[in-house]
């Protein structure tokens, strides 16, 4: 990356990049909202938005205008500072995560040598915003939602980071662009299938997407921390949610699917690289929407148990195996075999956790109720 | 020093008000949950937000006008509610219902049971947390049934089609063919639910072992319908005291042994299969004929007396207690609501479990608030 874009002075250059982020992310998020509504509509055996503009393309614009026009309410007993700054605390870290996203070779906002570390650091800040929103709203649903969000983020951060770690062990760098370029021959998913699966699951939890949408659980806590927000502040949460969906998909595609490179030659034009990235990210986004349309929500204890008892040990094992293979220079296909074995183990453990005998569970609950009364 | 720390860390329980405006209370039900973290310690239900005095109003109207109020009492299974009412009137007035009317009534109430259970599937799917998919699936097939009812009765929700003595008018000529079409659609719908929810791992993990109630407790609470059959009690009014023609055809009472939320779901799913079977047999037995008794007075008057009629509605025993002192209107009418009795067990089933569990327990007993409050 040259010092300044178009040879401008660094401040102006920074400003341009900042505007680029904000503009691009807003457009992308609005596009994603439209796409999700359309795709979900198809999953639901209905058509989705179709009245606003051709194919309903202007639906997001209409929604945005409506939200801007709405009254910005604040409950009388809400804590003004935490309530009003909650949305920003959610929104800004997500935008900061955009800085290191690789779309094309030599064109992202900044290429950081510690890109992964930076991303993990900023993205986990947004949870503070969730707790602020939950606490500041002076609403019990919101508070339960905020606490759930905090518990969930803390649990899933660990498998998330550990599977990131196993990828960077393989390439020996924390620089996302270098990780992408290291996959020119074979994408990382071939060597690290288990890490990919764990990372995908943890990413769903980080994004609060179903089946991990417990903090916002529509049928229990009615939107969780967002329940008291309206108008532009609410739309900020919404925008942040979709922006982070996009960022996370680009990140997964960069780390595991080879981002802007592919195995059939390295001499790619900038436009083609962008298309590759977008296609890979779009596949992941479609997968995430598909999951949303078809699975129920987990319960909070099941969610935590799954992270701590199943995902965390397996991702630790993956890091350990990577270490063995790299230290003793074992052939790389060992990793693939072990990884697929790990996926089977993961499925088996999941199945076993679910198929607990019902009688045992019922009697445990009976004991619990006795203790309660 | 750790001697008294246990006392210092005692925390206060949170009172969480759920409803009357809440996406998961299926109407205007309100409950106050005492929550310790995520665990429910106590539930105080409040009902009555939808009380309209329907029973009292029925006393001011003649027997035919009361049918409309039964529709509004149980709007998701209006045919079943009408059936209890008109059967009570028939018993008071000693009317003999023609065969054809009985077969058609049976088809209609079973179709309405299908529609109601489909509604349960959809709403329950949302309670468990699938974003909309089961709801729309359910409504797709329910729409077919409702369309059929509209062709028959002229209304999509408040049919007012049954009459004391028989039916308001005969069904359209293409009724049998149309019903078979609807059954094909419904069979597909049931298969879709099997694929979407029944085997889904998260669904199984969320629902199995939750909201357990034993057979003895269920009987004590006076539960009925699928909610009690899921606890292993084969109580079904259609089998216990056969009305219409239920004793002439082959069908099974579906029971489950586990008494949890999953069992209640499976029970309803099985009942949908049974309803399809019943309707098919009824269609084969349907013969042309009269739909009303030959000598019907212009204004129906009943001799003095009292009667209690119960039928198996989708949610359980829907009973009508009617007192007549002569004349063309009931002296007293009382509706025995299955939902109200089933709702009593809510606290028993959900205390000690998580907030999210209490929500799906409420969903699993499938209440209709207009029937609870009347």
DSSP assignment string, A107-167: BSS---TTHHHHHHHHHTTHHHHHHHHHHHTT-HHHHHHHHHHHHHHHHHHHHHHHHHHHH
- When CB atoms are compared, the residue of A210, A362, A371 closest to B129 is A210
Label residues B336-348 b or e (16+ Cβ within 10 Å = b): bbbbbbbbebbbb
Domain of A29, in residue numbers: 1-69
A65 and A138 assigned to the same domain: no
Note which residues in 352-371 of chain B have CB less than 8 A from chain A: 352-357, 359
Taking contacts as CB-CB distances below 8 angstroms, the residues of chain A near B134 are: none
Tokens linked to A298: 């987990």
Cβ–Cβ < 8 Å for B167, B81: no
- The domain boundary, picked from A69, A99, A123, lies at A69
- The closest CB to that of B208, out of A294, A358, A364, belongs to A358
Residue with tokens 């067990």: B345
From CA A107, how far away is CA A17, in angstroms rounded? 11
**Considering only CB atoms, which chain A residues are within 8 Å of B22?**
222
pLDDT tens-digit profile of B347-365? 888 888 888 888 889 888 8
* Pairing, β B332-336 against β B316-324: antiparallel
The first and second tokens of residue A50, run together, are: 């179709």
pLDDT given at position A285: 92
* Residue B111: band (very low, low, confident or very high) from pLDDT cuts 50, 70, 90: very high
Pick from A296, A351, A361: CB nearest B130: A296
Does A294 sit within 8 Å of B359, measured CB to CB? no
Candidate from A218, A294, A361 with C-beta closest to B208: A361
Give ∠ CA A44-A48-A53 in degrees, rounded to 5: 170
Contact A293 B130 (CB under 8 A): yes
Collapsed DSSP state (helix, strand, coil) of residue B49: coil
Q: Per the CB < 8 Å rule, is B210 touching A218? A: no
Q: Which of A69, A92, A112 is the C-terminal boundary of a domain?
A: A69
pLDDT of residue B8: 58
User: For residue B91, is pLDDT > 60?
Assistant: yes
The CATH number covering residue B228 comes to 1.10.645.10
The reported pLDDT for the residue numbered A358 is: 60
- My answer on whether A181 and A61 are in the same domain is no
User: Among positive and negative, which fits the CA dihedral A130, A136, A140, A142?
Assistant: negative
Handedness of CA A168, A171, A175, A176 (dihedral sign): negative
Q: Which backbone phi and psi does A262 adopt, to 5 degrees?
A: -145, 165
Q: Do A297 and B356 touch (CB under 8 A)?
A: yes
Same structural domain for residues A221 and A308? yes
Return the structure tokens found at B240: 């216990």
Q: Are residues A286 and A344 in the same domain?
A: yes
The answer to whether residues A121 and A269 belong to one domain is: yes
Structural domain ending residue among the three candidates A53, A69, A85 = A69
Whole-number Å distance between alpha carbons of A205 and A308: 13
Could you count the other beta carbons within 10 Å of the beta carbon of residue A15? 12
Contacts of B15 in chain A (CB under 8 A): 140
Render the burial of A91-124: b for 16+ CB within 10 Å, e for the rest: bbbbbbbbbbbbbbbeebbebbeebbebbbebbb
- Backbone φ and ψ for B130, nearest 5 degrees, come out as -75, 135
Chain A hits for B126, Cβ within 8 Å: 218-219
- C-beta atoms of B41 and A351 within 8 A: no
**Which residues pair with residue A107 across a beta bridge?**
A104
Backbone angles phi, psi at A357, to 5 degrees: -60, 135
Same domain (yes/no): A258, A133 = yes
Task: Determine the pLDDT at residue A5.
Answer: 53
Could you write out the DSSP letters of every residue in B90-144?
HHHHTPPPPHHHHHHHHHHHHHHHHHHHHHHHHHHHHHHT--SHHHHHHHHHHHH
pLDDT of amino acid A7: 61
**B209, B258, B353, B362: best to mutate for the A interface, most A CBs within 10 A:** B209
Q: How far apart are CA B183 and CA A205, in angstroms?
A: 41
Half-sphere exposure of residue B257, counting CA atoms within 13 Å on the CB side?
2
Please check whether residue B153 is in contact with residue B160, taking contact to mean a CB–CB distance below 8 angstroms: yes
Q: Count of CB atoms within 10 A of residue B236's CB?
A: 25
- Contact between residue A116 and residue A176 where contact means Cβ atoms under 8 Å apart: yes
What is the tens place of the pLDDT at every residue in B42-86? 888 888 888 888 888 888 888 888 888 888 888 888 899 999 999
Q: Kindly state the average pLDDT of the residues B206-233.
A: 87
Chain B: closest CA distance from residue A46 (Å): 8
Do A22 and A152 belong to one domain?
Answer: no
CA-based nearest residue to A254, from A194, A182, A338, A154: A182
Helix axes A270-294, A10-43, angle to 10 degrees: 40
Touching A: B residues 13-72, CB under 8 Å: 14-17, 22-24, 35, 38-39, 41
Greater model confidence, A269 or B34: B34
pLDDT recorded at residue B5: 47
List the beta bridge partners of residue B96.
Answer: none
Contact A362/B140, CB-based, under 8 Å?
A: no
Residues 6+ apart with CB under 8 A from A216: A145, A208, A223, A224, A225, A226
Q: CA of A340: how far to CAs of A113, A327, A336, B106, B124, in Å?
A: 31, 21, 6, 55, 36
Q: What is the pLDDT along chain A (373 residues), one digit of tens a residue?
A: 444 455 667 778 778 877 877 888 888 888 888 998 899 888 888 888 888 888 888 888 888 888 888 888 888 888 888 888 888 888 888 888 887 888 777 666 677 788 888 888 888 888 888 888 888 888 888 888 888 888 888 888 889 999 888 888 888 888 888 888 888 788 888 888 888 999 999 999 888 888 888 888 777 888 888 888 888 888 888 888 888 898 889 889 888 888 787 777 767 777 778 888 888 889 999 999 999 888 888 888 888 888 888 889 999 998 998 888 888 888 888 888 888 888 888 888 888 877 765 655 555 555 555 555 5
> CA B265 to CA B363: how far, in whole Å?
10
State yes or no: pLDDT of B133 exceeds 50: yes
Same domain, A48 and A79: no
**Contact across the interface for B127 and A219, Cβ inside 8 Å:** yes
Helices (H), A182-328: 188-191, 193-206, 231-256, 270-294, 300-305, 312-327
Closest approach of chain A CAs to the CA of B29, in angstroms? 14
Residues A56 and A196 in one domain: no
| 3-state SS, residue B214 | coil
State the Cα torsion A10-A12-A18-A23 to the nearest 10°.
-150
- For chain A, the domain total comes to 2
Task: Name the residue of chain A whose CA is nearest to B23's CA.
Answer: A219
Q: Which residue of B has its CA nearest to A360?
A: B209
Closest residue by Cα to residue A205 from A304, A293, A287: A304
Shortest alpha-carbon distance between residue A102 and chain B (Å): 32
**Among B126, B129, B198, the residue to mutate for chain A (most A Cβ within 10 A):** B129
Region B224-228 average pLDDT: 89
By CA distance, what is A213's nearest residue in B?
A: B129
Beta bridge partners of residue B318, listed in sequence order: B311
Distance from CA of B269 to the nearest CA of A (A): 18
Closest CA to B111 of B250, B256, B314: B314
In terms of pTM, does the model score above 0.95?
A: no
Task: Report the number of distinct structural domains present in chain B.
Answer: 1
Whether the predicted interface score ipTM is above 0.85: no
Cα(B242)–Cα(A240) distance, integer angstroms? 60
Number of residue pairs across A and B with CB atoms under 8 Å?
Answer: 135
Q: Between A217, A294, A353, which is nearest B130 by CB?
A: A294
Residues of B in contact with A301 (CB under 8 A): 38, 354
pLDDT for the residue numbered B217:
86
Nearest to B113 by CA among B231, B223, B251: B251
Q: How far is CA A261 from CA A248, A276, A277, A279, in A?
A: 18, 7, 8, 12
Find the domain containing B360 and state its range: 5-373
Nearest CB among B127, B351, B354 relative to A301 is that of: B354
Q: Kindly state the tokens that stand for B203.
A: 């669904």
Q: Give the nearest partner residue to B200 out of A43, A46, A296, using CB atoms.
A: A296
Q: Are residues A41 and A159 in the same domain?
A: no
Q: What is the pLDDT of residue A2?
A: 45
Mutate: best of A290, A293, A299, partner B, most B CBs <10 A: A299
- Predicted confidence at residue A368, as pLDDT, reads 56
**Would an 8 Å CB–CB cutoff place B283 in contact with chain A?**
no
B137 contacts in chain A (CB < 8 Å): 44-45
Instruction: Specify whether the CB–CB gap between A123 and A208 falls below 8 A.
Output: no
Q: Do B130 and A300 touch (CB under 8 A)?
A: no
């Amino acid at each position: 990356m040259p010092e300044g874009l178009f040879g401008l002075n660094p401040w102006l250059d920074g400003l341009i990049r900042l505007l680029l982020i904000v503009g691009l992310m807003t457009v992308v998020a609005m596009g994603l909202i439209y796409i999700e509504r359309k795709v979900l509509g198809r999953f639901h055996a209905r058509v989705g938005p179709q009245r606003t503009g051709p194919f309903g393309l202007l639906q997001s614009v209409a929604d945005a205008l409506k939200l801007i026009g709405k009254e910005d309410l604040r409950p009388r007993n809400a804590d003004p500072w935490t309530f009003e700054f909650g949305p920003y605390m959610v929104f800004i870290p997500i935008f900061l995560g955009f800085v290191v996203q690789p779309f094309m070779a030599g064109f992202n906002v900044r290429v950081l040598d510690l890109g992964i570390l930076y991303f993990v650091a900023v993205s986990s800040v947004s949870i503070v915003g969730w707790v602020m929103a939950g606490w500041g709203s002076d609403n019990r649903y919101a508070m339960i939602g905020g606490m759930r969000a905090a518990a969930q983020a803390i649990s899933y951060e660990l498998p998330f980071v550990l599977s990131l770690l196993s990828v960077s062990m393989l390439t020996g760098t924390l620089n996302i662009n270098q990780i992408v370029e290291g996959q020119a021959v074979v994408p990382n998913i071939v060597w690290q299938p288990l890490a990919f699966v764990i990372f995908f699951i943890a990413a769903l939890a980080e994004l609060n997407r179903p089946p991990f949408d417990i903090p916002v659980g529509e049928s229990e806590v009615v939107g969780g921390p967002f329940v008291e927000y309206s108008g532009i502040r609410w739309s900020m949460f919404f925008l942040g949610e979709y922006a982070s969906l996009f960022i996370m998909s680009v990140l997964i595609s960069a780390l595991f699917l080879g981002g802007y490179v592919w195995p059939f030659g390295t001499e790619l034009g900038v436009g083609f690289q962008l298309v590759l990235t977008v296609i890979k990210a779009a596949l992941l986004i479609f997968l995430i929407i598909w999951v949303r349309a078809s699975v129920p929500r987990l319960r909070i204890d099941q969610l935590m148990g799954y992270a701590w008892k199943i995902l965390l040990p397996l991702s630790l094992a993956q890091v350990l195996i990577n270490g063995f293979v790299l230290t003793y220079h074992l052939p790389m296909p060992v990793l693939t075999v072990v990884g697929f074995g790990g996926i089977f183990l993961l499925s088996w453990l999941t199945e076993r956790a679910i198929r607990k005998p019902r009688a045992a569970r019922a009697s445990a609950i009976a004991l619990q109720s006795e203790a309660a009364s | 020093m750790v001697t008294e720390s246990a006392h210092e860390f005692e925390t206060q329980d949170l009172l969480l008000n759920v409803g009357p405006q809440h996406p998961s209370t299926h109407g205007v039900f309100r409950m106050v949950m005492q929550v310790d973290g995520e665990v429910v310690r106590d539930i105080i239900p409040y009902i009555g937000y939808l009380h309209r005095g329907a029973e009292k109003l029925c006393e001011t109207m003649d027997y035919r006008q009361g049918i409309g109020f039964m529709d509004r009492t149980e709007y998701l299974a209006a045919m079943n509610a009408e059936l209890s009412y008109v059967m009570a009137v028939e018993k008071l007035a000693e009317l003999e219902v023609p065969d054809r009317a009985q077969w058609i009534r049976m088809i209609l109430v079973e179709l309405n049971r299908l529609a109601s259970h489909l509604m349960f599937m959809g709403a329950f799917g949302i309670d468990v947390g699938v974003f909309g998919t089961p709801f729309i699936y359910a409504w797709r097939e329910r729409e077919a049934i409702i369309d059929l009812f509209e062709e028959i009765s002229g209304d999509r929700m408040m049919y007012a089609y049954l009459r004391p003595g028989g039916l308001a008018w005969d069904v359209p000529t293409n009724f049998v063919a149309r019903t078979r079409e609807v059954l094909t659609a419904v069979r597909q719908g049931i298969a879709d639910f099997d694929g979407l929810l029944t085997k889904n791992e998260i669904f199984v993990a969320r629902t199995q072992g939750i909201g357990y109630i034993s057979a003895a407790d269920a009987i004590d609470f006076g539960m009925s319908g699928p909610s009690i059959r899921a606890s292993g009690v084969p109580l079904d009014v259609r089998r216990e005291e056969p009305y219409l023609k239920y004793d002439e055809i082959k069908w099974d009472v579906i029971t489950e042994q586990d008494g949890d939320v999953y069992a209640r779901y499976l029970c309803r799913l099985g009942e949908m299969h049974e309803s399809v079977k019943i309707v098919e047999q009824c269609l084969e037995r349907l013969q042309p004929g009269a739909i009303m008794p030959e000598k019907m007075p212009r204004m129906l008057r009943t001799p003095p007396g009292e009667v209690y009629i119960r039928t198996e509605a989708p949610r359980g025993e829907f009973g009508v207690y009617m007192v007549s002192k002569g004349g063309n209107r009931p002296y007293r009418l009382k509706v025995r609501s299955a939902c109200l009795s089933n709702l009593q067990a809510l606290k028993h089933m959900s205390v000690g479990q998580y907030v999210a569990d209490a929500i799906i327990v409420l969903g699993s007993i499938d209440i209709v608030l207009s029937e609870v409050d009347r």
